[in-house]
Structure 1
Amino acid sequence: MAGNSDPLTPRAKLAVTAGKAVAAASRAAGRGSGSVIGGRVALKLDPDLLARLAQHLDVTLVSATNGKTTTTRLIAEALKAAGPVVSNALGANMPAGITSALAGGSEARFGVIEVDEKYLAGVARDTDPKCIALLNLSRDQLDRAAETRMLAENWREGLAGSKAVIVANADDPLVVWAASSSPNVIWVAAGQMWKDDAWSCPSCGGVMQRPGDDWFCSECGFRRPTPSWALSGDHVLDPHGSAWPIHLQLPGRANKANAASSAAVAAVFGVPPQVALERMYQVQAVAGRYDVVQFEGRDLRLLLAKNPAGWLETFSLIDPPPTPVILSVNARGADGTDTSWLWDVDYTRLTGHPICVIGDRKLDLAVRLEVANQQFQVCENLDQAVQLCPPGRIEVIANYTAFQDLRRRVGN
């Protein structure tokens, strides 16, 4: 444990109180959870508040382009075996949202914090984490996010010499390059379905060779490190070679990979793999993702996929044809306004599924599906799309704000 800190300064207490009051007012006005605006107000009153709130916690940071919200939930569940946990479970993952989350956890021993990729270095400076989990880096929000190698470079520079234990995905060359500046890294073979951001060497720009599950640069010798933890089918292999069964209610290979990384993090804090993996079974859904809801006499499974890597993983877990699929894409601020990433997604994987298309950018998606030779119908809204589907299960896949729209419509 990080040791009991001094009580918060009067200024810090005032900042926390003011932040909570603003958050409560925002909720009362129906403007969401209020965590971001509350955190912003608190940080204005005390710019060092995040560091003060974190000083009595053993902190784990989780960052990635895909899977960080789910992995944060799984780690938090596992660490509850060792003591009380505070976490930004709702996914507000920039400094203001993180500050709000920690302000509510005065009794906690552990802080498990999801961090937006662009803010990782700064949050790591403020919170002095004991562990940092790095899952993947892939293209996302093309109009405003730095391209992936620049993000990897930010991580590499920001984490150089960090005292934290870095738990990193050995199968993602960008993550390996970013983590390699740190003295204490635990490598996890978590897999990488989406490889299109990792064909050139992040170290020298040379062409990456990718035989089987291995990878290496033939020009500079940068190569996949030997993992000490690995996902193997439905089991996690620990550093002693023991295989532990994965108990999850969440679907798909990607969540098993998230569980493998989470088990490695839990072990850093002394929670054994068997205990950690059994506790992860408690997680049924994450901020509405994977929920099955009844709507208009059908069972809708809500799936979030916000970039090509996410869509690829999601296609691998949907029920086989002829299960109907509804696709919804927006391009609002939180999504990124550039939808050219749609052309990076292999929609031929939906062949045989009846497809309905909704969302602000349904016509962009329709053009893409036309080129992929898919059978689809463009619909005005969710209600119309559902009416076109037969009774039974429907897979609904949406990007970020489209997913929030869906949850509001189905009352989830």
Structure 2
Amino acid sequence: MNRPGVAAGGSGIEWPPVVPAAAQRVWSDMLRPIARELRRSAPMLTAQAVDRMRVEMPALYPDPHTAEESGGSIRAHVVQLAETIENGSDPRRFDIPEPGLSLIRSRVRRQVPLSEIMRLYRMAQERVWQWMFAGITATARDAAELAAALELATGWLFAYTDAAMIRAERAYEVEYEGWMRSAAAAQTAAIADILAERERDAARASTRLRYEVNRHHVAIVVWLDRAPDTGDAQALLGEAVTELARRIGAEHTFTHHPGALVLAGWASGREPFSPSVVEGVGRAGTLPAGVRAALGEPGHGLSGFRRGHLEAEHARRVATLAGARAEPVTHYREIAVAALCTADPVQARAFVTRVLGPLAAPDENTFRLALTLAVYLEENRSRRRAADRLTVHPNTVSYRVQQAEAILGRGTDTGVLELQVALAILPSLSGLTAVSAPDL
């Protein structure tokens, strides 16, 4: 953040230019400590603000990653405000932090109106002011000190928010004008038409995309669960797509930016891709730290381009539901059943808890037993093949299966289809609970 007017050592208020000595003391004794605590509380306040935004503006948050984009921007602004107050500097003189600019770029590409971005600023301001007001009223020793602290804090917060909104509006206009003139807008429209099956002509689609679709494709979606502390998120995601495409053996790649923390891509070639090579991608820890990926099934032509991307998006949705239990790379083929069965979160959760009962408990020991049972059934009850997949001894498989059956309270010779489906959904259960909780 630019702080051109900070006093040496941060020893006095430089905004406004003339401040009574009593107000200087209030700033030093009350507001500076509150500003330091505000910086430490930024993650908590951000989470609260984003939760409210997701409730009041659900259309702006179709998935957790758009929420994280907003969260990264809010956190950066809160920290910037806290530093401004702590240093006593002019709240009207700063640059929008990079996460804020990244959010604006993403919202322009998603065609989110400027008015909605302005609403985000106002809602975040409201939450920060509520927090500051509580801190000030709890700290003030008398009415005079309370009045002085509230006047100073109000001035800083409202001046900062006003300047931030002005800069955001300018940045939005510049980004929008550039985006509308760029090929990105045309490509985004073409992709939307292809995915919605409005565009059915492969030659015309290739021209619109500037990418030959009459090839063999593997669709890829890579994402970050949170903005990186350093570096550019899109550069990191682009590196991941390039590496995955190389390992697949692709000749060309094409990428699309649906959000600041998400990158969609297609790896293509003239010859069909080897299913075994595609299935093995990502199992050797090839992704940059923090990056996760989802892959669709190999396909050909315009239909393969479309279907593969939809499959990759479903794989991303299931991986997001599974959270830490998901592999770094999720293949649609491996989670197809879970993808089909989790479209209705409430029904999926009820089904799993009914079929598995206590075997659906969230602790890791019970989950390990359930996972072993799932692999055992997938391998047609072969202890050896299940042990090979789980890298354990066959006797360990037998022991875990017996424990799982004991928890179920029955054998696994009946109701096998329901049991296998419930076990396929089980890794997503915690995510399904979070998604469906408001509906209960």
Larger Rg: 2
TM-score between the two structures when normalised by the length of structure 1: 0.32
TM-score between the two structures when normalised by the length of structure 2: 0.30
Return the structure number with greater helix share. 2
Return the structure number with greater strand share. 1
